[in-house]
């Protein structure tokens, strides 16, 4: 639970999340990112495929797509690590796969609070 999820084109992307769904706010986020094809006729999902991992494990982060990039912002980094103010993005390639994440060229959020949002542009 706590994963960021966004659909773009014929893909569903799942970013981060918590490793232990049995305990709310357990604080064991992971850095996994996966994508699955969406069948336009049936709406069924194909198998999830791993994508480039996040720079840091995150749960409860905002995930959105803009300008051909998948963005992740804020969230929590786990017990003892507090909230994240990071913003990063990955280019969505022509085949729908993600390029490596870029956290260096983005500014940080103005506070260390957990931020969640849904954006469709």
For 60-75, how does the pLDDT look when each residue is reduced to its tens digit (9 = 90+)? 888 999 999 999 987 7
Taking CA atoms, 36 is separated from 41, 94, 103, in Å, by 15, 15, 24
Q: What is the pTM of this model?
A: 0.80
Which positions ≥6 away from 110 have C-beta within 8 Å?
85
Residue 91 — pLDDT band, cuts 50, 70, 90? very high
pLDDT of 119 higher than 60: no
pLDDT of 107 higher than 80: no
Residue 13 burial (CB < 10 Å; 0-12/13-18/19+)? buried
Residue-level pLDDT at 77: 74
Residue 40 burial (CB < 10 Å; 0-12/13-18/19+)? exposed
Share of the chain above pLDDT 70, in %: 73
List the alpha helices (DSSP H) in 19-64: none
């Amino acid at each position: 639970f706590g994963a960021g999820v966004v659909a773009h084109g014929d893909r569903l992307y799942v970013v981060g999340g918590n490793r232990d769904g049995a305990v709310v706010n357990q604080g064991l986020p992971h850095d996994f990112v996966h994508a699955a094809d969406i069948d336009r006729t049936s709406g069924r999902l194909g198998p999830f495929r791993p994508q480039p991992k996040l720079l840091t494990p995150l749960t409860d982060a905002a995930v959105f797509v803009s300008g051909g990039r998948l963005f992740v912002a804020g969230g929590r980094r786990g017990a003892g690590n507090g909230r994240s103010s990071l913003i990063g993005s990955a280019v969505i390639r022509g085949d729908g796969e993600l390029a490596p994440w870029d956290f260096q060229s983005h500014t940080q959020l103005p506070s260390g609070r957990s931020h969640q949002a849904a954006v469709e542009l």
